[in-house]
Structure 1
């Protein structure tokens, strides 16, 4: 297979073009001469673009001779367009004039790190997003960022997917969309499956690792993911994107927009549908979504309304495949929905959910020194999962056994629906004050409310139970309020930049839980958190800097932690002190960073490795634990048409004095104390590599690799309860060209797992004591062997 692959690649690589040139230069502020880091440079008649580095410099390569139009744009500055005739390498500098028309990037700037922030982060541009947006879950866009592990429940990337960064799962990763929280208010996870094909409406993403900057919503313990959706496009467009591939996967997307009308208005829209059979048995998905956006642009203000929605129907694959089945070669076996010994399965064993979003975003330039950004938001979600349950005691559903003749029917097979209907709404705001070049102050905050109704119905029973159809056997309501205020300042003294960030957060959560007497009653919890951060950055020169920071984060337990406890056993909030030290460099032909971190936890809620009956992770407080490691990332231009980017994370993730409790056949507890073990789901090494070759103009061949080290399924470092490390390779092919009447035709091919590596990227474990010995019940999420997605993009 490897020899065949090498031969295939050799055939794809044509002779290098004879004449290839470059355009480079520096972008500065016309008034102050300050380098403008992050400026976007676009070739309007080509698919190429670039982002100016820390020193304001940019570089565009692999250009044939000819005439090109360069457009240079940056937040708060007038864009500049220049025509260049290229028959040799050209250096073209730009000095931008501060503009009077506000741009909407200020919506997210208050919660983002900049090139001089003492924070480890990665930016993904729209170009980065588009080339990887072939139909898999949103999490896969981030798979090549440092310290990141992504997994698919269905095994082929469509449906429920999960992400961990620095070993922390989505419940500790703060996610905001246009500065508005996306994490579920109760379980704190993020379910991108509820917004299928969100990537097609995203302009840029920033991933911050560690505590990061102050932001809205859930506390960030592993990372923050800051997403910005569609921004202004000045010309009208229509785009059709279609993908098709293995396991019946099909994706169709229509994007369209008016461009800027009368210099004041713009309207954008998208509709998407994704279907897939999945790799795991009965893991099919039907996903639909739309995105509508309208904006008004004044000289000093921007008003935008976003209305978008997602619908998902996925068959349940969240328990994984039993270890014995994997060992015997059936890596696709799904036992959820099993009815009886005839190998029959319940066909409607599905998860069904709809989520509607409304966002009103407003930006105002109050003066040349002060700007304001605010948002109102409302989210409405509702849905259920339906499941078949075998031989259930009717008393568990508040029913009395039915007596028929001489028989007492105390158990029955049944079908139940577990419903969630919720509302989430609130406001966010921030003011930015920049009185002089060397000082910047941001003050912001948010207030959000959540209300969630949890209720459960019986749809059908095998035995007569005298209940009416759609019988509701339980209901409870949860309410949560979340208030925060923060202030962040940066002050420059020569080449030294001082950074300070203070946040206060108050939470009140009302839920149905156990009281002191273990009766189920409504409970109430109030928490107050203070999260200070401080750091400094020293600019060695215009191309590089070093930084150091210390940040404190606090994080509340989630719904499952609360409702399964009483006031006496209620879990404690988590506390984290995060130390970061790093170095960054940006040059025309290479760039990179090295970052060291030490994350010291108090009362961290660690995963035990088990899941409850709806797939939620079970956690327990650990008094002392830590993560310590180093992250290295970079890119280098090996040749005119050849670029290599890579990152690697080496870490030690330890739990101190972990007490594992197992139960024997009589449900007697058996305790085992461990002095120092690895934190569950925290690999000691994670690496990624992308080798990108441009054999022809607008054509790319990329060889993409990912390595993830061993992951333990619980906190005991037991080899028999772990996932083997894996090394997986993909190929991505992209080519763009023009046709008469079509601005751009893009064709792509993504071949995943080209060597058909057999591996499991996630799992769960349920050990117990049987006959005096520990017996493991492990479940794995096997990922698909070699599979592909072919894509076609048409722009008009």
Structure 2
């Protein structure tokens, strides 16, 4: 994991396509396989080389990000890459989600300069923490499948490596201004000093972004900072220091409303859904009598990353790359907690939402009044309904080292180590009392009951995440537990390259030690799962390993073939080691086993490039946790175990340069992702109390055999996609482009309630409607007399035809059959199952685009736009 220097940057940029619309695998023009600079993998950044590294790869340059991103999420730039599905999630700033070959981000290795950034407890990646990357990234390389990384990381679906700018870039600067729909405003300034005669260089960037998204009440404010300092001591030693961060806060839409609510609360009242509808906010009346918007769901975070990279070149054959890094994050997300008069915020009375108004928004005045009437001192614990903030902070330190040696013209080897220490802080505090005089909490067994009145303003970011004290224990509610992770690993790789053949074999071993620390338990007194537990569990060490290899053969100047194969024994995440948020190690703990194989073919010519890949991955003993919705239950979740998945498919991408004016690009991917065998599932409420799923037990069999793989976090799994794009450059410095994308075989999230019923196994996961989207854009450079100085004007329109589509699904409510109804008699009147079915099937309000309107979904954004103006000097 090394910060990329100038020579590597030059080599990598040659991998990028000439087209600015579509990121694809392209030809490496180097011809000498014996050259030490043409090794398959370099440093610990593991940049794949076309026609040499045997993996499926796509690369996006900074120029494309600048010209195409606008006000989109950064990961949406990958949507024209085979087998990738990136969405805006709930639609809040930075709340995007990405799926690669049917695997979600927690099982995709996301890296910055080769440094893994997936959360060390749960593997998740919150892209709102990384929004600043779009301003400082030199290029993004995506490797689908096993990937070329040497590290002991679980790149089940693939890897995403963001390579940031380095200090020794060419002297110059850039000023940018961006505007767009919903008050989008972005400004930034960057400057590179270039390298001095004594080897010093620096680069910095400052930026700010604000506005709201297409969704109701999703205001946000975000900043970006980046600083790099380089010193080339001599020909043997090169040092690079980098710090980057993106502090932000944003209001969210976390809950996926039902389709019927999108239609019901559309102010146009025309039977169509209001795609902007957000059920996570409302109004209250302040002391001046004005209505003020208030969000129940918001996120705030500051997660800077510091790296110090040292490259030591011993001689022309040997090199050591070392990087030490730290990432201290502070922040969390809000939601409701407790009940007032026995009702939580989403409660209904006789089918009517109790705390909602006629527009489907929260009636905070009603809530505030009921809260204010509660005597906190005499009421039971949890008898007021407040907004809590769940803190998810951490301190993360690591060191990576990789030694490379050229044995001879054909053989190279590398060996290294990846060591990390992580400490995560997880607890709840009060963010807003919602008119109550306090909140009584009995979760802390050391201070029970505890009446808390202190609140925290989530919009006041802590700009110093490297210090600062945690909130006192007597101000914490709900839960307070820490996670401590020790990670030690070693890796090695042997490479062979001669004439038209290149090959490698790589292996790694790792030990992950997990300790859970619960501040709310009483040492030696608290009993969980019939065991007496302590505040600290002690470390549970789990050994894992992987081995993989591959080969590429260049048949001639135009054709090449490659293959790779690998096996992972992957350690489970922390919430599987200590299930249901308790201090007891899972008695059935086992590693997840992943086997993957891939074949690929590539064709390269002056005008036409194409790639075809065929892959298959088997994932056994998978365990996962997901948030679920249970009526009148706050923060319910489900744990699923013993899952086996098969992911297999075909990918095709191609680019054709008709002439110097017109270029075409396209891709197609088809997948077949399904569960093999059944699994088990259990459900719990937010206080870890078991919830009944079937009969009188909270544990049930999940009938999943041959069911299509669905999402796990209110998201969907894509199994077929296609894209076509064209770029026209009629005159110098003018570029006009258009892109079309098709999404099909899109499957909703899985849930325990549906698949604990064997009758639903044949129905499978709910398939969402297919859709097509079209984007267009234009970019023009205005050059000054000094050719190094120029303005760039750009504009983008996304979803040009304002297509209404469902991007993600959270439920599996199928169109009903007669068998779903029963005959009933009320007041002497009998209604048969057939009569109920007829009434249901003949009511158009029950259906939208072929699916039941009771399903909870996220609609995609309608037509949006962004424009940019930048000046390079």
TM-score calculated relative to the size of structure 1: 0.80
Change (3 A) 1:560 1:282: farther
Cα distance in 2 for partners of 1:501, 1:773 equals 54
Partner of 2:421: 449
Contact 1:55/1:542, CA 8 A, preserved across alignment:
no
| Pairs aligned (count) | 708
- Structure 1 residue 206: deviation in Å? 1.4
- Structure 1 residue 238: deviation in Å? 1.6
Cα distance in 1 for partners of 2:138, 2:622 equals 35
1:625 partner SS: strand
Contact 2:727/2:737, CA 8 A, preserved across alignment:
yes
2:274 corresponds, among 330, 343, 359, to 330
2:506 corresponds, among 501, 506, 513, to 501
Alignment of structure 1 residues 87-166 onto 2, 5 Å: 107-110=43-46, 112=48, 115-153=51-89, 155=91, 158-166=93-101
Change (3 A) 1:218 1:324: farther
Partner of 2:795: 749
Moved more, 409-418 or 433-442: 409-418
Partner of 1:553: 568
Moved more, 452-461 or 653-662: 653-662
Cα distance in 1 for partners of 2:636, 2:142 equals 25
Alignment of structure 1 residues 232-631 onto 2, 5 Å: 233=168, 235-262=170-197, 264-297=199-232, 298-328=234-264, 329-337=273-281, 346-347=294-295, 349-389=297-337, 391=339, 411-459=383-431, 460=433, 462=436, 465=440, 466-470=451-455, 471-473=475-477, 474-512=479-517, 515-517=528-530, 522-523=536-537, 524-565=539-580, 567-568=585-586, 572-605=590-623, 610=628, 618=638, 620-631=640-651
Cα distance in 2 for partners of 1:627, 1:393 equals 48
Cα distance in 2 for partners of 1:419, 1:536 equals 46
Change (3 A) 1:235 1:718: same
1:733 partner SS: strand
Contact 2:257/2:858, CA 8 A, preserved across alignment:
yes
2:261 partner SS: helix
Cα distance in 2 for partners of 1:136, 1:50 equals 20
Contact 1:259/1:267, CA 8 A, preserved across alignment:
yes
2:452 partner SS: coil
- Write the deviation string for residues 486-533 of structure 1: whole angstroms up to 9, x where unpaired: 111221355333321111111111125895427775444321112011
Moved more, 363-372 or 438-447: 438-447
1:646 corresponds, among 666, 677, 680, to 666
- Write the deviation string for residues 142-169 of structure 1: whole angstroms up to 9, x where unpaired: 22221111111354x8431111111111
Contact 2:322/2:400, CA 8 A, preserved across alignment:
yes
Cα distance in 1 for partners of 2:15, 2:146 equals 31
Partner of 2:867: 790
- Structure 1 residue 689: deviation in Å? 2.2
Cα distance in 1 for partners of 2:734, 2:553 equals 39
Contact 1:703/1:731, CA 8 A, preserved across alignment:
yes
Change (3 A) 1:265 1:674: closer
Change (3 A) 1:539 1:404: closer
Moved more, 432-441 or 458-467: 458-467
Contact 1:282/1:334, CA 8 A, preserved across alignment:
yes
RMSD: 3.8
- Structure 1 residue 108: deviation in Å? 4.3
Change (3 A) 1:255 1:413: same
Unaligned runs of 5+ in 2: 1-9, 17-22, 265-272, 345-372, 441-450, 456-474, 519-526, 684-691, 711-715, 751-760, 822-851
Partner of 1:23: none
2:730 partner SS: coil
- Write the deviation string for residues 600-646 of structure 1: whole angstroms up to 9, x where unpaired: 12113468784799999855234432111111111011233111111
Alignment of structure 1 residues 727-766 onto 2, 5 Å: 727-740=772-785, 743-765=789-811
- Structure 1 residue 425: deviation in Å? 0.4
Cα distance in 2 for partners of 1:390, 1:621 equals 30
Contact 1:279/1:783, CA 8 A, preserved across alignment:
no
- Write the deviation string for residues 681-717 of structure 1: whole angstroms up to 9, x where unpaired: 3332122222111111121111112222132224457
- Write the deviation string for residues 176-199 of structure 1: whole angstroms up to 9, x where unpaired: 111211111112111221132312
1:683 partner SS: strand
Contact 2:413/2:492, CA 8 A, preserved across alignment:
yes
Change (3 A) 1:773 1:276: farther
Cα distance in 2 for partners of 1:348, 1:226 equals 34
Change (3 A) 1:657 1:512: farther
1:707 aligns with 2:784: no
Change (3 A) 1:180 1:212: same
Contact 1:606/1:679, CA 8 A, preserved across alignment:
no
Partner of 1:695: 730
1:325 partner SS: helix
2:718 corresponds, among 652, 661, 683, to 683
Cα distance in 2 for partners of 1:602, 1:486 equals 24
More strand by share: 1
- Structure 1 residue 718: deviation in Å? 4.4
- Structure 1 residue 659: deviation in Å? 5.1
Contact 2:36/2:409, CA 8 A, preserved across alignment:
no
Partner of 2:754: none
Partner of 1:68: none
Cα distance in 2 for partners of 1:215, 1:614 equals 42
1:684 partner SS: strand
- Write the deviation string for residues 43-88 of structure 1: whole angstroms up to 9, x where unpaired: xxxxxx999834538xxxxxxxxxxxxxxxxx998xxxxxxxxxxx
1:765 partner SS: coil
Cα distance in 2 for partners of 1:254, 1:651 equals 43
- Structure 1 residue 405: deviation in Å? 11
1:139 partner SS: helix
Change (3 A) 1:494 1:238: closer
Contact 1:738/1:745, CA 8 A, preserved across alignment:
yes
